[in-house]
Protein backbone atom coordinates (compact mmCIF):
# COMPACT_ATOMS: atom_id res chain seq x y z
CA UNK A 1 0.00 0.00 0.00
CA UNK A 2 2.80 2.40 0.90
CA UNK A 3 5.99 2.20 -1.11
CA UNK A 4 9.07 4.12 -0.13
CA UNK A 5 11.78 4.14 -2.78
CA UNK A 6 15.31 5.46 -2.30
CA UNK A 7 14.23 8.10 0.17
CA UNK A 8 17.04 10.43 1.23
CA UNK A 9 17.02 13.56 3.29
CA UNK A 10 20.02 15.51 4.43
CA UNK A 11 20.54 18.91 5.90
CA UNK A 12 23.45 21.11 6.84
CA UNK A 13 24.19 20.95 10.55
CA UNK A 14 25.15 23.83 12.77
CA UNK A 15 28.86 23.15 12.28
CA UNK A 16 28.42 23.25 8.50
CA UNK A 17 28.72 19.52 7.92
CA UNK A 18 26.09 17.59 5.99
CA UNK A 19 23.91 15.35 8.16
CA UNK A 20 22.16 12.45 6.48
CA UNK A 21 18.89 12.12 8.36
CA UNK A 22 17.80 9.43 5.92
CA UNK A 23 19.84 7.68 3.26
CA UNK A 24 18.40 5.52 0.54
CA UNK A 25 15.47 4.12 2.49
CA UNK A 26 13.38 1.44 0.73
CA UNK A 27 10.30 0.14 2.48
CA UNK A 28 7.02 -1.51 1.51
CA UNK A 29 4.11 -1.40 3.89
CA UNK A 30 1.13 -3.64 3.28
CA UNK A 31 -2.51 -2.73 3.53
CA UNK A 32 -3.74 -3.14 7.14
CA UNK A 33 -0.27 -3.96 8.38
CA UNK A 34 0.86 -2.83 11.83
CA UNK A 35 4.44 -1.76 11.24
CA UNK A 36 6.67 -0.59 14.06
CA UNK A 37 9.85 1.36 13.46
CA UNK A 38 12.52 1.00 16.11
CA UNK A 39 15.83 2.75 16.43
CA UNK A 40 18.10 4.86 18.58
CA UNK A 41 17.47 8.57 18.81
CA UNK A 42 18.80 10.43 15.82
CA UNK A 43 18.20 7.55 13.40
CA UNK A 44 15.70 9.57 11.40
CA UNK A 45 12.62 7.55 12.30
CA UNK A 46 10.53 10.63 13.02
CA UNK A 47 11.84 12.25 9.84
CA UNK A 48 10.73 9.18 7.90
CA UNK A 49 7.26 9.34 9.44
CA UNK A 50 6.87 13.06 8.78
CA UNK A 51 7.90 12.51 5.18
CA UNK A 52 5.18 9.87 4.82
CA UNK A 53 2.76 12.31 6.46
CA UNK A 54 3.66 14.86 3.81
CA UNK A 55 4.79 17.39 6.40
CA UNK A 56 8.40 17.83 5.32
CA UNK A 57 10.25 17.88 2.00
CA UNK A 58 13.01 15.42 1.17
CA UNK A 59 15.92 15.46 -1.25
CA UNK A 60 15.61 12.29 -3.21
CA UNK A 61 13.36 9.29 -3.75
CA UNK A 62 9.62 8.70 -3.79
CA UNK A 63 6.81 7.87 -1.43
CA UNK A 64 3.83 6.26 -3.10
CA UNK A 65 0.48 5.54 -1.53
CA UNK A 66 -1.61 3.20 -3.66
CA UNK A 67 0.66 4.13 -6.52
CA UNK A 68 0.31 7.91 -6.33
CA UNK A 69 3.12 10.11 -5.08
CA UNK A 70 2.87 11.90 -1.76
CA UNK A 71 2.99 15.67 -2.24
CA UNK A 72 1.59 16.77 1.11
CA UNK A 73 -0.87 15.71 3.77
CA UNK A 74 -3.84 13.75 2.52
CA UNK A 75 -7.23 12.62 3.76
CA UNK A 76 -6.24 8.94 3.85
CA UNK A 77 -3.53 9.63 6.44
CA UNK A 78 -3.70 11.03 9.95
CA UNK A 79 -1.14 11.39 12.67
CA UNK A 80 -0.77 10.96 16.42
CA UNK A 81 1.94 13.13 17.97
CA UNK A 82 4.47 12.42 20.67
CA UNK A 83 3.54 15.48 22.73
CA UNK A 84 -0.16 15.15 21.92
CA UNK A 85 -0.35 18.52 20.07
CA UNK A 86 -3.79 19.32 21.46
CA UNK A 87 -5.24 22.81 21.24
CA UNK A 88 -5.13 24.00 24.87
CA UNK A 89 -8.05 26.40 24.42
CA UNK A 90 -10.38 23.84 22.87
CA UNK A 91 -12.52 21.27 24.68
CA UNK A 92 -11.99 17.54 24.29
CA UNK A 93 -14.96 17.47 21.92
CA UNK A 94 -13.53 20.24 19.73
CA UNK A 95 -10.05 18.74 19.78
CA UNK A 96 -11.36 15.37 18.62
CA UNK A 97 -13.45 17.10 15.94
CA UNK A 98 -10.53 19.26 14.75
CA UNK A 99 -9.58 17.12 11.75
CA UNK A 100 -13.23 16.88 10.69
CA UNK A 101 -13.55 20.64 10.92
CA UNK A 102 -10.50 21.11 8.68
CA UNK A 103 -12.33 18.98 6.16
CA UNK A 104 -15.35 21.23 6.24
CA UNK A 105 -17.69 18.90 8.11
CA UNK A 106 -20.47 20.77 9.89
CA UNK A 107 -20.95 21.07 13.63
CA UNK A 108 -23.70 18.47 14.08
CA UNK A 109 -22.01 15.63 12.21
CA UNK A 110 -18.64 16.58 13.63
CA UNK A 111 -19.85 16.42 17.22
CA UNK A 112 -21.65 13.14 16.63
CA UNK A 113 -18.59 11.47 15.17
CA UNK A 114 -16.33 12.98 17.81
CA UNK A 115 -18.58 11.69 20.59
CA UNK A 116 -18.44 8.17 19.20
CA UNK A 117 -14.63 8.29 19.16
CA UNK A 118 -14.49 9.80 22.64
CA UNK A 119 -16.50 6.85 23.86
CA UNK A 120 -14.23 4.44 22.01
CA UNK A 121 -11.14 5.75 23.81
CA UNK A 122 -12.94 5.75 27.17
CA UNK A 123 -13.28 9.48 27.73
CA UNK A 124 -17.06 9.78 27.94
CA UNK A 125 -17.95 12.48 30.43
CA UNK A 126 -14.85 14.55 29.63
CA UNK A 127 -16.22 16.17 26.45
CA UNK A 128 -16.21 19.69 27.87
CA UNK A 129 -12.85 19.48 29.66
CA UNK A 130 -9.78 21.21 28.29
CA UNK A 131 -6.42 19.45 27.80
CA UNK A 132 -4.90 21.22 30.81
CA UNK A 133 -7.40 19.42 33.03
CA UNK A 134 -6.43 15.95 31.77
CA UNK A 135 -3.57 13.60 32.59
CA UNK A 136 -0.99 12.77 29.93
CA UNK A 137 -2.59 9.42 29.21
CA UNK A 138 -6.01 11.01 28.76
CA UNK A 139 -4.54 13.68 26.52
CA UNK A 140 -3.09 11.05 24.24
CA UNK A 141 -6.45 9.30 24.13
CA UNK A 142 -7.79 12.57 22.78
CA UNK A 143 -4.93 12.61 20.25
CA UNK A 144 -5.78 9.08 19.13
CA UNK A 145 -9.50 9.85 18.92
CA UNK A 146 -8.77 12.95 16.82
CA UNK A 147 -6.66 10.90 14.41
CA UNK A 148 -9.27 8.14 14.15
CA UNK A 149 -12.17 10.56 13.72
CA UNK A 150 -11.17 11.33 10.13
CA UNK A 151 -11.35 7.59 9.38
CA UNK A 152 -7.85 7.27 7.97
CA UNK A 153 -6.61 4.27 6.05
CA UNK A 154 -3.11 4.99 7.36
CA UNK A 155 -2.47 5.92 10.97
CA UNK A 156 0.95 7.47 11.59
CA UNK A 157 2.04 7.39 15.22
CA UNK A 158 5.17 9.23 16.34
CA UNK A 159 6.27 7.73 19.68
CA UNK A 160 2.72 8.26 20.90
CA UNK A 161 3.28 6.66 24.31
CA UNK A 162 6.75 8.08 24.92
CA UNK A 163 5.52 10.89 27.15
CA UNK A 164 3.28 8.92 29.53
CA UNK A 165 4.12 6.84 32.58
CA UNK A 166 4.72 3.09 32.36
CA UNK A 167 1.33 1.91 33.64
CA UNK A 168 -0.56 4.25 31.36
CA UNK A 169 1.64 3.22 28.47
CA UNK A 170 0.72 -0.44 28.97
CA UNK A 171 -2.97 0.35 29.14
CA UNK A 172 -2.79 2.46 25.99
CA UNK A 173 -0.89 -0.29 24.16
CA UNK A 174 -3.62 -2.79 24.99
CA UNK A 175 -6.32 -0.38 23.93
CA UNK A 176 -4.59 0.47 20.69
CA UNK A 177 -4.31 -3.22 19.88
CA UNK A 178 -7.95 -3.74 20.69
CA UNK A 179 -9.06 -0.78 18.55
CA UNK A 180 -6.92 -1.95 15.64
CA UNK A 181 -8.21 -5.51 15.90
CA UNK A 182 -11.77 -4.22 15.57
CA UNK A 183 -11.06 -1.62 12.95
CA UNK A 184 -8.21 -2.61 10.70
CA UNK A 185 -6.04 0.00 9.07
CA UNK A 186 -2.41 0.46 8.17
CA UNK A 187 -0.43 1.66 11.18
CA UNK A 188 3.11 3.00 11.13
CA UNK A 189 4.25 3.27 14.72
CA UNK A 190 7.53 4.87 15.80
CA UNK A 191 9.04 3.82 19.10
CA UNK A 192 12.34 3.51 20.89
CA UNK A 193 11.05 0.66 23.05
CA UNK A 194 11.88 -2.87 21.87
CA UNK A 195 9.08 -4.38 23.94
CA UNK A 196 6.53 -1.99 22.47
CA UNK A 197 7.77 -2.61 18.93
CA UNK A 198 7.41 -6.38 19.33
CA UNK A 199 4.13 -6.37 21.24
CA UNK A 200 2.35 -4.20 18.69
CA UNK A 201 3.96 -4.89 15.34
CA UNK A 202 3.57 -7.42 12.56
CA UNK A 203 7.09 -6.46 11.53
CA UNK A 204 9.71 -4.37 13.26
CA UNK A 205 11.81 -2.08 11.08
CA UNK A 206 15.14 -1.60 12.78
CA UNK A 207 16.88 1.62 11.86
CA UNK A 208 20.46 2.69 12.45
CA UNK A 209 21.70 6.21 12.95
CA UNK A 210 24.19 8.42 11.07
CA UNK A 211 23.17 8.00 8.35
CA UNK A 212 19.60 7.01 9.08
CA UNK A 213 18.87 3.86 7.17
CA UNK A 214 17.08 0.56 7.56
CA UNK A 215 19.33 -1.99 9.22
CA UNK A 216 16.95 -4.91 9.19
CA UNK A 217 13.29 -5.81 9.01
CA UNK A 218 12.32 -8.37 11.65
CA UNK A 219 9.02 -10.25 11.33
CA UNK A 220 7.16 -10.81 14.61
CA UNK A 221 5.79 -14.37 14.73
CA UNK A 222 3.19 -13.67 17.44
CA UNK A 223 -0.46 -14.64 16.99
CA UNK A 224 -3.31 -12.16 16.71
CA UNK A 225 -5.46 -10.95 18.36
CA UNK A 226 -3.02 -9.92 21.05
CA UNK A 227 -5.06 -7.49 23.11
CA UNK A 228 -6.99 -10.16 25.00
CA UNK A 229 -3.97 -11.50 26.87
CA UNK A 230 -0.93 -9.29 26.65
CA UNK A 231 0.63 -11.01 29.66
CA UNK A 232 0.64 -14.39 27.89
CA UNK A 233 2.18 -12.81 24.78
CA UNK A 234 4.96 -11.32 26.86
CA UNK A 235 5.75 -14.66 28.47
CA UNK A 236 5.80 -16.56 25.18
CA UNK A 237 9.16 -17.76 23.91
CA UNK A 238 8.68 -16.03 20.54
CA UNK A 239 8.26 -12.69 22.24
CA UNK A 240 11.29 -13.20 24.43
CA UNK A 241 13.36 -14.37 21.50
CA UNK A 242 12.50 -11.50 19.16
CA UNK A 243 13.04 -8.93 21.89
CA UNK A 244 16.40 -10.43 22.77
CA UNK A 245 17.41 -10.47 19.11
CA UNK A 246 16.48 -6.80 18.70
CA UNK A 247 18.47 -5.92 21.78
CA UNK A 248 21.54 -7.71 20.39
CA UNK A 249 21.25 -5.78 17.17
CA UNK A 250 20.75 -2.45 18.94
CA UNK A 251 23.74 -3.08 21.18
CA UNK A 252 25.88 -3.93 18.15
CA UNK A 253 24.90 -0.63 16.54
CA UNK A 254 25.82 1.19 19.69
CA UNK A 255 29.31 -0.35 19.93
CA UNK A 256 29.85 0.17 16.21
CA UNK A 257 29.31 3.85 16.72
CA UNK A 258 31.31 4.42 19.84
CA UNK A 259 34.84 4.38 18.28
CA UNK A 260 33.87 6.82 15.54
CA UNK A 261 32.47 9.13 18.18
CA UNK A 262 35.73 9.10 20.14
CA UNK A 263 37.76 9.65 16.99
CA UNK A 264 35.47 12.47 15.89
CA UNK B 1 -3.92 24.91 68.37
CA UNK B 2 -3.92 21.20 69.11
CA UNK B 3 -2.00 18.48 67.30
CA UNK B 4 -1.49 19.24 63.60
CA UNK B 5 -0.36 15.75 62.60
CA UNK B 6 -2.37 12.56 62.45
CA UNK B 7 -5.65 11.78 60.71
CA UNK B 8 -8.14 14.58 60.44
CA UNK B 9 -11.38 14.65 58.50
CA UNK B 10 -11.54 17.16 55.65
CA UNK B 11 -13.82 20.01 56.59
CA UNK B 12 -15.08 23.13 54.96
CA UNK B 13 -13.06 25.97 56.47
CA UNK B 14 -14.98 28.05 59.02
CA UNK B 15 -16.18 31.60 58.44
CA UNK B 16 -13.20 33.20 60.18
CA UNK B 17 -10.81 31.18 58.05
CA UNK B 18 -12.58 32.12 54.82
CA UNK B 19 -12.58 35.82 55.71
CA UNK B 20 -8.88 35.65 56.50
CA UNK B 21 -8.13 33.86 53.23
CA UNK B 22 -9.93 36.38 51.03
CA UNK B 23 -8.10 39.38 49.59
CA UNK B 24 -10.68 42.04 50.32
CA UNK B 25 -10.15 42.36 54.10
CA UNK B 26 -6.44 42.98 53.59
CA UNK B 27 -7.06 45.53 50.87
CA UNK B 28 -9.54 47.35 53.11
CA UNK B 29 -7.09 47.24 56.01
CA UNK B 30 -4.24 48.58 53.90
CA UNK B 31 -6.49 51.36 52.62
CA UNK B 32 -7.64 52.27 56.12
CA UNK B 33 -4.04 52.54 57.31
CA UNK B 34 -3.13 54.63 54.26
CA UNK B 35 -6.11 56.96 54.77
CA UNK B 36 -5.37 57.27 58.49
CA UNK B 37 -1.70 58.16 58.00
CA UNK B 38 -2.68 60.66 55.32
CA UNK B 39 -5.31 62.26 57.54
CA UNK B 40 -2.99 62.62 60.52
CA UNK B 41 -0.06 63.86 58.46
CA UNK B 42 -2.18 66.44 56.59
CA UNK B 43 -3.77 67.77 59.79
CA UNK B 44 -0.49 68.01 61.69
CA UNK B 45 1.98 69.13 59.01
CA UNK B 46 0.07 69.57 55.78
CA UNK B 47 -0.86 73.20 55.75
CA UNK B 48 -2.29 74.78 52.64
CA UNK B 49 -0.64 72.50 50.11
CA UNK B 50 -1.63 69.05 51.36
CA UNK B 51 -5.34 68.51 51.92
CA UNK B 52 -6.46 65.89 54.41
CA UNK B 53 -8.07 62.64 53.36
CA UNK B 54 -11.53 63.82 54.36
CA UNK B 55 -11.13 67.13 52.53
CA UNK B 56 -10.11 65.22 49.43
CA UNK B 57 -13.13 62.95 49.67
CA UNK B 58 -15.42 65.96 49.99
CA UNK B 59 -13.77 67.70 47.05
CA UNK B 60 -14.06 64.55 44.96
CA UNK B 61 -17.77 64.35 45.68
CA UNK B 62 -18.16 68.02 44.83
CA UNK B 63 -16.32 67.55 41.55
CA UNK B 64 -18.44 64.57 40.59
CA UNK B 65 -21.47 66.85 40.83
CA UNK B 66 -19.99 69.64 38.71
CA UNK B 67 -20.56 70.09 35.00
CA UNK B 68 -17.04 71.40 34.62
CA UNK B 69 -15.54 68.00 35.49
CA UNK B 70 -17.78 66.05 33.16
CA UNK B 71 -17.05 68.42 30.30
CA UNK B 72 -13.33 67.94 30.94
CA UNK B 73 -13.78 64.16 31.14
CA UNK B 74 -15.64 64.16 27.86
CA UNK B 75 -12.95 66.13 26.04
CA UNK B 76 -10.05 64.18 27.54
CA UNK B 77 -11.62 60.83 26.89
CA UNK B 78 -12.18 61.61 23.22
CA UNK B 79 -8.43 61.49 22.83
CA UNK B 80 -8.26 58.34 24.94
CA UNK B 81 -10.94 56.44 23.06
CA UNK B 82 -9.76 57.43 19.59
CA UNK B 83 -6.07 57.08 20.35
CA UNK B 84 -6.41 53.75 22.12
CA UNK B 85 -8.81 52.45 19.47
CA UNK B 86 -6.32 53.24 16.75
CA UNK B 87 -3.53 51.65 18.79
CA UNK B 88 -5.51 48.39 19.09
CA UNK B 89 -6.68 48.33 15.49
CA UNK B 90 -3.20 49.01 14.14
CA UNK B 91 -1.07 47.46 16.87
CA UNK B 92 -2.58 43.96 16.99
CA UNK B 93 -2.25 43.25 13.25
CA UNK B 94 1.20 44.86 13.19
CA UNK B 95 2.38 42.71 16.11
CA UNK B 96 0.98 39.56 14.50
CA UNK B 97 2.78 40.28 11.23
CA UNK B 98 6.02 40.98 13.06
CA UNK B 99 5.69 37.73 14.97
CA UNK B 100 5.01 35.64 11.89
CA UNK B 101 7.23 37.11 9.21
CA UNK B 102 10.93 37.58 9.75
CA UNK B 103 11.25 40.21 7.04
CA UNK B 104 8.68 42.46 8.67
CA UNK B 105 10.46 41.97 11.95
CA UNK B 106 13.82 42.97 10.47
CA UNK B 107 12.39 46.08 8.87
CA UNK B 108 10.53 47.27 11.94
CA UNK B 109 12.75 46.23 14.81
CA UNK B 110 14.75 49.45 15.03
CA UNK B 111 11.66 51.64 15.11
CA UNK B 112 9.98 49.49 17.69
CA UNK B 113 13.04 49.74 19.91
CA UNK B 114 13.10 53.51 19.47
CA UNK B 115 9.46 53.67 20.52
CA UNK B 116 10.21 51.44 23.49
CA UNK B 117 13.05 53.50 24.93
CA UNK B 118 12.13 57.07 23.96
CA UNK B 119 10.55 59.13 26.71
CA UNK B 120 7.28 59.95 25.02
CA UNK B 121 7.14 63.46 26.43
CA UNK B 122 10.08 64.30 24.19
CA UNK B 123 7.91 63.76 21.12
CA UNK B 124 5.35 66.37 22.12
CA UNK B 125 7.19 69.42 20.71
CA UNK B 126 7.61 67.58 17.39
CA UNK B 127 3.93 66.76 17.32
CA UNK B 128 2.86 70.29 18.10
CA UNK B 129 5.12 71.61 15.36
CA UNK B 130 3.75 69.28 12.72
CA UNK B 131 0.10 68.78 13.71
CA UNK B 132 -0.56 71.70 16.00
CA UNK B 133 -2.63 71.75 19.18
CA UNK B 134 -5.98 70.08 19.04
CA UNK B 135 -7.60 66.72 18.98
CA UNK B 136 -5.38 65.24 16.26
CA UNK B 137 -2.14 65.66 18.13
CA UNK B 138 -3.67 64.45 21.39
CA UNK B 139 -4.98 61.34 19.65
CA UNK B 140 -1.64 60.68 18.01
CA UNK B 141 0.18 60.95 21.32
CA UNK B 142 -2.18 58.55 23.08
CA UNK B 143 -1.69 56.13 20.19
CA UNK B 144 2.08 56.36 20.34
CA UNK B 145 2.00 55.86 24.09
CA UNK B 146 -0.09 52.70 24.01
CA UNK B 147 0.71 51.03 20.70
CA UNK B 148 4.16 49.73 21.66
CA UNK B 149 2.84 47.49 24.43
CA UNK B 150 0.18 46.13 22.10
CA UNK B 151 2.61 45.45 19.24
CA UNK B 152 5.25 43.83 21.41
CA UNK B 153 2.82 41.56 23.23
CA UNK B 154 0.96 40.54 20.08
CA UNK B 155 4.29 39.69 18.49
CA UNK B 156 5.26 37.56 21.48
CA UNK B 157 1.84 35.91 21.43
CA UNK B 158 2.13 34.73 17.84
CA UNK B 159 5.70 33.65 18.36
CA UNK B 160 5.01 31.52 21.39
CA UNK B 161 2.36 29.40 19.67
CA UNK B 162 3.74 25.85 19.73
CA UNK B 163 5.04 24.97 16.23
CA UNK B 164 3.84 21.42 16.90
CA UNK B 165 0.25 22.72 16.81
CA UNK B 166 0.82 24.26 13.38
CA UNK B 167 2.30 20.99 12.16
CA UNK B 168 -0.66 19.13 13.63
CA UNK B 169 -3.11 21.40 11.83
CA UNK B 170 -1.29 20.93 8.54
CA UNK B 171 -1.28 17.16 8.99
CA UNK B 172 -5.08 17.33 9.08
CA UNK B 173 -5.04 19.30 5.85
CA UNK B 174 -5.52 22.79 7.27
CA UNK B 175 -5.20 25.59 4.73
CA UNK B 176 -3.05 28.64 5.45
CA UNK B 177 -6.18 30.53 6.45
CA UNK B 178 -7.30 27.75 8.78
CA UNK B 179 -3.87 27.69 10.42
CA UNK B 180 -4.33 31.40 11.15
CA UNK B 181 -7.90 31.33 12.37
CA UNK B 182 -7.84 28.02 14.24
CA UNK B 183 -4.31 27.91 15.66
CA UNK B 184 -2.25 31.09 15.49
CA UNK B 185 -4.85 33.66 16.52
CA UNK B 186 -6.48 31.68 19.35
CA UNK B 187 -3.02 30.73 20.60
CA UNK B 188 -1.85 34.34 20.60
CA UNK B 189 -5.01 35.70 22.19
CA UNK B 190 -3.87 35.64 25.84
CA UNK B 191 -0.74 37.66 25.08
CA UNK B 192 -2.71 40.01 22.82
CA UNK B 193 -5.18 40.65 25.63
CA UNK B 194 -2.32 41.31 28.06
CA UNK B 195 -0.90 43.79 25.57
CA UNK B 196 -4.26 45.51 25.27
CA UNK B 197 -4.57 45.79 29.05
CA UNK B 198 -1.04 47.19 29.47
CA UNK B 199 -1.60 49.47 26.48
CA UNK B 200 -4.75 50.83 28.09
CA UNK B 201 -2.79 51.82 31.17
CA UNK B 202 -0.26 53.63 28.99
CA UNK B 203 -3.06 55.29 27.05
CA UNK B 204 -4.47 56.82 30.24
CA UNK B 205 -0.97 58.06 31.15
CA UNK B 206 -0.65 59.51 27.67
CA UNK B 207 -4.02 61.22 27.92
CA UNK B 208 -3.03 63.05 31.12
CA UNK B 209 0.54 63.88 30.11
CA UNK B 210 -0.44 65.32 26.79
CA UNK B 211 -2.74 67.76 28.53
CA UNK B 212 -0.31 68.74 31.23
CA UNK B 213 2.43 69.47 28.71
CA UNK B 214 0.51 70.58 25.67
CA UNK B 215 -3.07 71.68 25.52
CA UNK B 216 -4.54 72.42 28.90
CA UNK B 217 -8.16 72.26 27.88
CA UNK B 218 -9.66 69.37 29.77
CA UNK B 219 -8.59 67.26 32.77
CA UNK B 220 -5.03 68.48 32.46
CA UNK B 221 -6.39 72.02 32.38
CA UNK B 222 -8.32 71.43 35.58
CA UNK B 223 -5.21 70.13 37.29
CA UNK B 224 -3.16 73.16 36.27
CA UNK B 225 -5.97 75.54 37.20
CA UNK B 226 -6.49 74.11 40.69
CA UNK B 227 -2.77 74.05 41.26
CA UNK B 228 -2.45 77.68 40.22
CA UNK B 229 -5.26 78.70 42.57
CA UNK B 230 -3.90 76.64 45.48
CA UNK B 231 -7.17 74.68 45.58
CA UNK B 232 -5.40 71.64 46.93
CA UNK B 233 -8.47 69.51 47.77
CA UNK B 234 -9.91 69.99 44.28
CA UNK B 235 -6.50 69.24 42.73
CA UNK B 236 -6.30 66.01 44.70
CA UNK B 237 -9.92 65.22 43.89
CA UNK B 238 -9.27 65.54 40.16
CA UNK B 239 -6.33 63.18 40.43
CA UNK B 240 -8.40 60.70 42.44
CA UNK B 241 -11.03 60.73 39.71
CA UNK B 242 -8.42 60.13 37.00
CA UNK B 243 -6.98 57.27 39.06
CA UNK B 244 -10.44 55.82 39.55
CA UNK B 245 -11.12 55.93 35.84
CA UNK B 246 -7.82 54.22 35.09
CA UNK B 247 -8.48 51.53 37.69
CA UNK B 248 -11.98 50.95 36.36
CA UNK B 249 -10.80 50.65 32.75
CA UNK B 250 -7.98 48.30 33.65
CA UNK B 251 -10.25 46.12 35.79
CA UNK B 252 -12.66 45.90 32.87
CA UNK B 253 -9.80 44.93 30.55
CA UNK B 254 -8.57 42.33 33.02
CA UNK B 255 -12.06 40.89 33.30
CA UNK B 256 -12.34 40.59 29.50
CA UNK B 257 -8.91 39.01 29.40
CA UNK B 258 -9.91 36.35 31.93
CA UNK B 259 -13.22 35.68 30.23
CA UNK B 260 -11.63 35.16 26.84
CA UNK B 261 -8.57 33.20 27.87
CA UNK B 262 -9.57 31.07 30.81
CA UNK B 263 -7.74 28.08 29.31
CA UNK B 264 -4.37 29.81 29.52
CA UNK B 265 -4.32 29.69 33.31
CA UNK B 266 -4.91 25.98 33.56
CA UNK B 267 -2.73 24.84 30.67
* Residue A218 pLDDT > 90: yes
Q: What percent of chain B has pLDDT over 90?
A: 34
What is the arithmetic mean of pLDDT over B114-143? 82
Task: Check pLDDT > 70 for residue B145.
Answer: yes
Q: Report the candidate in A185, A181, A218, A191 with the shortest Cα–Cα distance to residue A202.
A: A218
- Which residue did the predictor score with more confidence, B67 or A92? A92
pTM of the model: 0.81
Mean of the pLDDT values across residues A160-165? Answer: 91
CATH code of residue B178: 1.10.3720.10
The number of domains in chain B is 1
Q: Under an 8 A CB cutoff, do B266 and A132 touch?
A: yes
What's chain A's average pLDDT? Answer: 91
Tell me: pLDDT of A219 over 90.
Answer: yes
Q: Which of B236, B255, B254, B253 is nearest to B80 (CA)?
A: B253
Beta-carbon contacts below 8 Å between A and B: 65
The rounded distance, in Å, linking the Cα atoms of B166 and A55 is 11
User: Each residue of B68-95: pLDDT tens digit?
Assistant: 889 888 888 898 999 999 999 999 999 9
Query: Could you give the CA distance from residue A233 to residue A164 in angstroms, rounded to a whole number?
Result: 22
- Is the per-residue pLDDT at B24 higher than 60? yes
CA distance A85 to A87: 7
Distance from CA of A85 to the nearest CA of B (A): 5
Residue A217 has pLDDT above 50, yes or no: yes
What average pLDDT does this structure show over B247-258? 89
Nearest to B170 among A55, A133, A150 (CB): A55
Q: Does residue B47 form part of some domain?
A: no
Q: Residue B173 — left, alpha, or beta (φ > 0 → left; ψ -120 to 50 → alpha)?
A: left
Q: Give dist(CA B159, CA B265) in Å, integer.
A: 18
The answer to whether residue B192 is domain-embedded is yes
Distance from CA of B255 to the nearest CA of A (A): 17
Please report, for chain A, the start and end positions of each structural domain, with discontinuous segments joined by +.
2-76+152-263, 77-151
Q: Do B168 and A85 touch (CB under 8 A)?
A: yes
Nearest to B56 by CA among B241, B207, B228, B205: B241
Residue B170 near chain A (CB below 8 Å): yes
pLDDT band for B213, please (50, 70, 90 cuts): confident
User: Model confidence at A264, in pLDDT bands (50, 70, 90)?
Assistant: very low
Residue B234 has pLDDT above 80, yes or no: yes
- pLDDT for B34 beyond 70: yes
The pLDDT of A161-166, averaged and rounded, is 90
Evaluate whether residue B204 is within a structural domain: yes
Selected residues 177-236 of chain B with any CB under 8 Å from a CB in chain A: 178, 182-183, 186-187, 189
Model confidence at A260: pLDDT above 60 = no
Better-scored residue on pLDDT, A52 or A19: A52
Residue B209 CA to residue B76 CA, distance in Å, equals 11
Interface of A with B in 147-166 (CB under 8 A): 150
Taking only the tens place, the pLDDT of each residue in A126-148 is: 999 999 999 999 999 999 999 99
**ipTM of predicted assembly, 2 dp:** 0.90
Min Cα–Cα distance to chain A from B166, Å: 9
Nearest CA in chain B to A149: B172
pLDDT above 70 for A40: yes
pLDDT band at A93 (very low <50, low <70, confident <90, very high): very high
B40, part of any domain: no
Q: Supply the pLDDT for residue B11.
A: 72
B50 touches chain A (CB under 8 A): no
CB contact under 8 A, A78 and B171: yes
Cα dihedral across residues A162, A165, A167, A168: positive or negative: negative
Confidence at A256, pLDDT banded by 50, 70, 90:
low
Tens digit of each residue's pLDDT (9 = 90 or more) over A22-33: 999 999 999 999
CATH architecture of structural domain A2-76+152-263: 3-Layer(aba) Sandwich (3.40)
The answer to whether the Cβ–Cβ distance between A85 and B170 falls below 8 Å is no
pLDDT of the residue at A27? 95
> In this structure, how many other beta carbons lie within 10 angstroms of the beta carbon of residue A41?
9
Q: Is pLDDT of B52 > 70?
A: yes
| The predicted structure's pLDDT at residue A159 | 94
In this structure, is residue B34 part of a structural domain?
no
In sequence order, what are the beta bridge partners of A79? A156
pLDDT score of B4: 59
Residue B29 lies in a domain: no
Answer yes or no: is pLDDT of B49 > 90: no
The Cα B137–Cα B240 span in angstroms is 26
User: What domain range is B249 assigned to?
Assistant: 52-266
Q: pLDDT value at position B3?
A: 52
Percent residues over pLDDT 90 in chain A: 78
Amino acid sequence: MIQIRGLSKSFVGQDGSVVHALRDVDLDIDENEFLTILGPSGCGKTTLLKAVAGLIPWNDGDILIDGSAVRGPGPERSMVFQNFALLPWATVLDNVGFGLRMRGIGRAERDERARALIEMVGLSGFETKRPGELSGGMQQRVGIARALAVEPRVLLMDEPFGAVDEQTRRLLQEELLSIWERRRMTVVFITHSMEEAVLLGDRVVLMSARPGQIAEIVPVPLPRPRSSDVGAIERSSDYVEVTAYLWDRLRDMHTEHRPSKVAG
Amino acid sequence: MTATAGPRPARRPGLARRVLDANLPYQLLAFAVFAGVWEVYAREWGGLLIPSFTETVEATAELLGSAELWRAMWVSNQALVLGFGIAVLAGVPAGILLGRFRLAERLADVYLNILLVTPMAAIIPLLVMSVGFGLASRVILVTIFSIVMIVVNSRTGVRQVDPALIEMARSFGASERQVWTRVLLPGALPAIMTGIRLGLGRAVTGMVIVELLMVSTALGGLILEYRGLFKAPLLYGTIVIILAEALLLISAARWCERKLTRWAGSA
